[in-house]
Every structure is written in C-alpha cells, then in structure tokens.
Amino acid sequence: MLWRRYFVTLILLAAVGGCDSPSAKFELSLPYLRKQEKDASTEFTLDQRQGLADILAALFGTPDAPYIPAGGGTGIEEVLDASKLRMAAGAVSSDQEGAPHGLYRKHCAHCHGVTGDGMGPTAAFLNPYPRDYRMGVFKFKSTPKGGRPTDADLHKTLVKGIPGTAMPSFRLLADTEIDALIDYVKYLSIRGEVERQLADEMAFELDEGEQLEVSGEFLLEDVVTTVVDRWRMADSQTSQVVKRPEWDEEETLASIHRGRELFYGAVANCVKCHGNTQLGDGQRDDYDDWSKDYEDLTKVIKRDDQKKVLSELAALGALMPRNIHPRNLREGVYRGGRRPVDLYLRILNGIDGSPMPAAILKPADAGPEMKGLTSDDVWHLVDYVRSLPYESLGTQATHDRQYKRSRM
Amino acid sequence: MGRFWSLLFLLVPVLGVGSFAWAVADIWPMRNHWLPEDISVHGVVIDSLFNFIMYLTGVIFIATGLALFLFLWKYDAARNTKPVSFVHGNHVLEIVWSVLPAAILLFIALYQMEPWSASKLVRPTSPGGDIIPPIAEVTGRQFEWRIRYAGEDGQIGTPDDLFTVNDLHVPKDEPIVLAIKSRDVLHSFFLPNLRVKQDVVPGMKQYVWFTATKNGAYDIVCAELCGWGHYKMKGRITVQDREDYDRWFEQQQAEQNLTELASR
C-alpha cells in the first residue's frame, strides 16, 4: 500500500534528522562591544570576537557545563559553589534520586535569558524589562550604591518576588534550590562583568586586530580578581541601619509631619521626581543605567540622530529603551520590600541603576547648616512614605466603596 | 473492514468507563488522579453532587455507546442486502427525547440549588447573626497570589494589614471568608482540598468561604489559563490550630515592621 511507504519514509526521516534543538550557548554582549568600538574608534575583527568568546568559554564553561575559573588566588570559590552551579545549570531534568537540575532554565531563563542578558523570549512583553545581570548592578540590596548585593539580598528578591514587576515569588522552592539559583545569578553576573572588562581591554589596550592575550596570569589576577573582589566584599559592606527610635503615636505623627517637610525640602528634594502629589509624576523622562549603557539616551533624545541610535540598538538585538518612572508612593506597592528597614535602605543608599540618589548621612548632632540627613531624618521620610497610601488626596469626605456584587 | 469499525466504536464506552474505574481504584499509573483529599465541611455535599451527576451521565454515556455499537454491528453494509428505508419522523420518539432530558436538567437544577446558594450566595454568619468579614484579600497576578490580611482592626486597607505572597494561613474549624481579586487578567482561585473554585475577574471583588477541618499544607492553584506562566501560579494554604495561627500572624507582623537589619 502506498500510504504505508510514505509513513515508513517519514519515520526514517525523523530518525535521521532528529528532533534535537541546538544546545544552549552564551551570547556576546553585542551592544557593549559596539559601544566600545565606537568609543575607541576601532573595529573588532571576527577573530577578535571569537577570541573573546573562546576566553570566556575557557574561564566559565558553557550553559550546560559551567565552571568557575580555575587557578588559585581569585577567591572566587568564596563567592561561587561549583556544586550549586551544576544544580542550577543545564537542561531541565532530575537525576535518579529525583534531585532537580536545570533550575535556571526552568524558572528564570524565559525572562532573564540563558546568558543572563535579560532578553529571554518573554522579555519583550514585560514592563519593566527583566534584569540584565551582566553589569553586576542590582537594585534592591543592603549595600551602598555601587556595591554588589549580598546573598541575603538576592534570597529576599527570589522568595518575596518584586511586586509591581513581572518577577514572581519563588517561596515554594526548596531552600537548596533557591541557594543554587542565587549562585547561578552571581555566576552569570561575574561572567558578564568579566566579558565587559575584556572588551574594554580589547578596545583600549590592544592594537587594531590584535588578539586578546590568553595568558592565564593576567586574566585571573587582573580581570577576574577585580570582579570577584566586589562580590566578596558585599557582606562586609552591608549598611548600618540605625534602629528607628521607639516613637509613640504622637511622636510618629510628628515624624510623619517632619518627613513631609523633608520630602518637599531642598536637601532631600524627593518632590523633584516623585511629584507634588507623590504619584510619581515628577521627572519622568530619565532612563535607567541599563538603557544608558549603550549611549546616554537622555542626551540622545535631544539630538537629531536619535532615530539612528535607536535603530542601531535594535539592530544589535537590544530591547527598545523605555523611560524609567519614579515610584508612585500612594500605591503602597514597594518593589524592594515594604518593611520599614527596606524603605530606610532605599532612601539611605539610593537605588542602583536608577536615578534615585543615595542620601548624604550626617551625624545626629550636626547642625542644620551641614548638608545631609540624619538617621532620624531618614526615618521621618520612611514614616511619611509609609503613611501616603492611607492619606486622602482630596478634601472630600471619604466613603466606603460599594461593589455591586459584593453581597456584604 | 466491515464490523471492525463497530468494534472500534465499542472501545469508546469500554475505555471511557475503564479509565474512570482505574482512577477511582487509585492504582498505578493512575494514582492521585481522582478527587483529592477533602478537608472541608461542605466538601461532602459537593462530592456527592459530583458523584450523582457522574453516575447519571455515566449511565447515559454507556447506553449511547452501546446503542451506537449495536446499530453499526447490525446494519453493517457488507452483511445487509435489504435496501435502506427512510422514516419521516416519529412524533412520540421526539417528545420522549425532548421531555426526558428537560426533566432531568430541571431535576438537577432544583437538586443542586441548596449547595449552590450555600457555597456561592449566602455568606456564613457569626453566632450573633453578623456576616463574617473576610480574613484576607487574595489578589491574583501573573503569576502569583498576593495576600493581604486584615490586621487587628479586622479591616482590609488600613496601615496594620499584613502582606504575604503565595502563603496563606487559616485557622482550623472556623468559617473563613476570603475576598478574591485580580490585578491583571482572568484567574481562577482554586483550593482543590477545600472544594473551592472561583474565577477571579479583573475589576470585581468576590468572596469565597469554607471551613477547614484538618491541619496541614495544601495547594492553591490557578484554574484558568492566564498566560504563559499559568502552570507555575501555585501557592500554599496552611491550615493550623488557632494558637499556631495567631503565633504565625504575630511573627509575620513583627517581621513586616522590622526597623533594623536582622543578621542572617
């Protein structure tokens, strides 16, 4: 019979051709390479790019088989645990004892991308875009601006999620799985930072077309160690939070009042971005550091060639940049956490990668002539911000909302 | 081929009933495919309604499947030489197959009225006759459940509210009311072990209620395709004794009001 012959042919074709997808691989950061080319007015050859990819692969392995740069002295083993990386990496599977593998690709990669570039398949549909780890910049953490997050900070983000964004809570994962993912995020971040440093090296230190030096010593000592040190320091950099004084109800009201004055005052000047009504309607035309990485878009937007810059970016595979909006403080949605201590840290340290600046802390006994905020001032601001979702905007009498079908 | 097709169609009622029986018997590989453990007060009624309707439709399903098989078998073209004769309708038959299903439907409608109103319309009341207010508000969001407990004042939307995510705790043996909402798209708040399932519609606040009778951790799942991450929109409901619940609540609230960095 004819149909049977077709059927057999089909099966044979499937057997020969296979249904395998190509194995996952790390991508180079094309926008950053292009930016360095432009800044150094040079052009990387294909060989140079391949050389960079080869060095990174030699140092960090592949998404299926990651490893931490071998050779002592970098201290990287204090930051990353190879067995945790193996648990998080690779294709989604579980071994004979039922222990899971490929956690990163199961839970994270569809938004954050296999490379950790924040460009997974679902990224373009999300607002805000998923985080690109490769700059090593993280927003919600307990270390000062420029510092790397601690494990506890990343743990909190994974367990609590980031309300107001597409980042969900992974509370129901086992602790070992969360720890594995934390290490893998740090691994992708360190790998990305090393890539950027090597690209800088290529752009500014080498002659045109010259291959990157593959000497292990330089790589490990100068590049990897610098990057790793920033992560190693995180724990010791954790900011000192001066405990909020035990204010009674009246003192808290006074604190809220003082916070309001500071909000509108010249020192804290929160009003500039968060707006007169705290709806986040102040300055809304800025960009975050990830969008500014290629070129400072706040300046580009005023130039005639903005379309050209944006189409260049798109051609390099980047997502269309969007403005970063100051938080609407009346919504009661706090991305970095709603505990008073979280808000204290946001005001004290600012938010990395965003235009939110860090406060200048001054001693409690410093006079008003000294610029900055005392820790009490920061607590006043925290109290004020925490009161905003419950403060009525208008003067009209409030009334309980009636839902048609509430059946109360 | 001939009677091959009639035998093939006979497989429909056989396999259909077989797979159900297999799941009910809870034998591998159909373990845990039947109704999950019921830990609610009203679940018995829901389950008996489910079973009643399943047996009713089951009987009709088997009868239809057998009739289809018998006709295919008897009137196989290869074995019948008699020409086809057409009937121009049968009044009595038509009345029977219209009235009978209508009567059955009407019966089901009346029969389930009480459980329906008890689980969807009439909110439980306290011994004093007051309607019990919701203990918490659960907001579905792509792809998680955000939970906001009323604090000590019993009001949701005040500064003493407690916020959690994917982690709902309720005291045992008490009527619990939850307000459910959606922040983005259609979700469905489903507590399989408590026999509670309600679509959550953006812009609409609804209430569900139940009384849990057994301590333990159970699933909260989304039962309405809500986007690519629907499958991972999973939470946990923990039923515990009143004292344990109160302790948990206090501890969560202390954590939420933290004003200094805890060392980890």
- ipTM for the complex shown: 0.84
Does the residue B35 lie in any domain?
yes
Does the residue B217 lie in any domain?
yes
Other Cβ atoms less than 10 A from the Cβ of A38: the count is: 14
Does B151 lie in the same domain as B64? no
Q: What is the CA radius of gyration of chain B?
A: 26
Q: Are A298 and A285 in contact (CB under 8 A)?
A: yes
Confidence of residue B1 (pLDDT cuts 50, 70, 90): low
Q: Which of A157, A167, A169 would best serve as a mutation to test chain B binding (most B beta carbons within 10 A)?
A: A169
Does B74 lie in the same domain as B24? yes
Pairwise CA distance, residues A296 & A290, whole Å: 10
Query: Which 178-207 residues of chain A touch chain B by CB within 8 A?
Result: none
Pairwise CA distance, residues A280 & A271, whole Å: 9
Does B175 lie in the same domain as B209? yes
Q: Are B226 and B233 in contact (CB under 8 A)?
A: yes
Decide if B234 and A172 are in contact by the 8 Å CB cutoff: yes
Does B70 lie in the same domain as B150? no
The SS3 of residue A94 is: strand
* pTM score above 0.80: yes
Query: Per residue in A58-117, pLDDT tens?
Result: 889 999 999 888 776 778 888 999 999 999 999 998 888 888 899 999 999 999 999 999
More confident residue, A284 or B163: B163
* H or E, element range at B129: none
Does the residue B126 lie in any domain?
no
B167: CATH: 2.60.40.420
Does the residue B30 lie in any domain?
yes
Contacts of B235 in chain A (CB under 8 A): 172
Average pLDDT taken over every residue of chain B: 93
Query: Per residue in A216-249, pLDDT tens?
Result: 666 777 788 899 999 999 999 999 999 999 999 9
Contacts of A73 (CB under 8 A, 6+ apart): A220, A221, A225
Q: Closest-CA residue in chain A for B144?
A: A168
% chain B with pLDDT above 70: 98
Does B258 lie in the same domain as B163? yes
Structure tokens at A18: 């296979």
Pairwise CA distance, residues B256 & A343, whole Å: 12
CA A111-A116-A118 angle, 5° bins: 45
Pairwise CA distance, residues B238 & B171, whole Å: 8
Other Cβ atoms less than 10 A from the Cβ of A205: the count is: 11
pLDDT at A394: 59
Query: In angstroms, what separates the C-alpha of B256 from chain A's closest C-alpha?
Result: 5
Pairwise CA distance, residues A185 & A103, whole Å: 11
Query: Per residue in B36-75, pLDDT tens?
Result: 999 999 999 999 999 999 999 999 999 999 999 999 999 8
Pairwise CA distance, residues A295 & A32, whole Å: 10
More confident residue, B83 or A3: B83
Does B156 lie in the same domain as B181? yes
Check whether B95 has a pLDDT greater than 50: yes
Pairwise CA distance, residues A226 & A148, whole Å: 13
Does B152 lie in the same domain as B102? no
Q: Are A348 and A360 in contact (CB under 8 A)?
A: no
Q: Of B166, B221, B218, which is closest to residue B189 (Cα–Cα)?
A: B221
Check whether A302 has a pLDDT greater than 80: no
Does B245 lie in the same domain as B158? yes
Q: How far is CA B249 from CA B169, B240, B258, in A?
A: 8, 12, 14
pLDDT mean over A320-326: 91
Pairwise CA distance, residues A374 & A361, whole Å: 6
Does the residue B169 lie in any domain?
yes
Does the residue B86 lie in any domain?
no
Decide if B165 and A339 are in contact by the 8 Å CB cutoff: no
Does the residue B129 lie in any domain?
no
pLDDT mean over A321-330: 93
Q: Is A252 on the interface with B (CB under 8 A)?
A: no
Q: Are A109 and A120 in contact (CB under 8 A)?
A: yes
CA A290 to chain centroid: 9
Query: Per residue in A129-144, pLDDT tens?
Result: 999 999 999 999 999 9
Phi, psi for B187 (deg, rounded to 5): -125, 175
Decide if A168 and B261 are in contact by the 8 Å CB cutoff: no
Q: A129-163 burial string, b = 16+ CB within 10 Å, else e?
A: bbbbbbbbbbbbbbbeeebbbbbbbbbbbbbbbbb
The SS3 of residue A49 is: helix
Does B176 lie in the same domain as B111? no
Q: Of A107, A103, A101, A136, which is closest to residue A120 (Cα–Cα)?
A: A107
pLDDT mean over A315-326: 91
Pairwise CA distance, residues B224 & B205, whole Å: 17
Confidence of residue B264 (pLDDT cuts 50, 70, 90): very low
Query: Per residue in B110-145, pLDDT tens?
Result: 999 999 999 999 999 999 989 999 999 999 998 999
Pairwise CA distance, residues A36 & A202, whole Å: 9
Q: Is A386 on the interface with B (CB under 8 A)?
A: yes
More confident residue, B261 or A26: A26
Does the residue B47 lie in any domain?
yes
Average pLDDT taken over every residue of chain A: 88
pLDDT mean over A18-22: 67
Does B241 lie in the same domain as B187? yes
Check whether B164 has a pLDDT greater than 90: yes
Of the candidates A122, A172, A238, the beta carbon closest to that of B228 is on A122
Query: Per residue in B188-239, pLDDT tens?
Result: 999 999 999 999 999 999 999 999 999 999 999 999 999 988 998 999 999 9
pLDDT mean over A377-381: 96
From first CA to last CA, the distance across chain B in angstroms is 74
pLDDT at A304: 79
Pairwise CA distance, residues A201 & A32, whole Å: 13
Check whether B78 has a pLDDT greater than 90: no
Phi, psi for A278 (deg, rounded to 5): 65, 20
Check whether A397 has a pLDDT greater than 80: no
Decide if B236 and A340 are in contact by the 8 Å CB cutoff: no
% chain A with pLDDT above 90: 62
Does B243 lie in the same domain as B196? yes
Q: Of B224, B145, B220, which is closest to residue B183 (Cα–Cα)?
A: B145
Contacts of A379 in chain B (CB under 8 A): 259
Structure tokens at A137: 């910049």
Other Cβ atoms less than 10 A from the Cβ of A94: the count is: 10
pLDDT at A408: 45
Into how many domains does chain B fold? 2
Does B255 lie in the same domain as B215? yes
Domain that holds residue B177: 136-263
Confidence of residue A381 (pLDDT cuts 50, 70, 90): very high
pLDDT at A217: 66
Q: How far is CA B225 from CA A161, A331, B142, B187, B228, in A?
A: 21, 27, 11, 7, 8
pLDDT mean over A390-395: 71
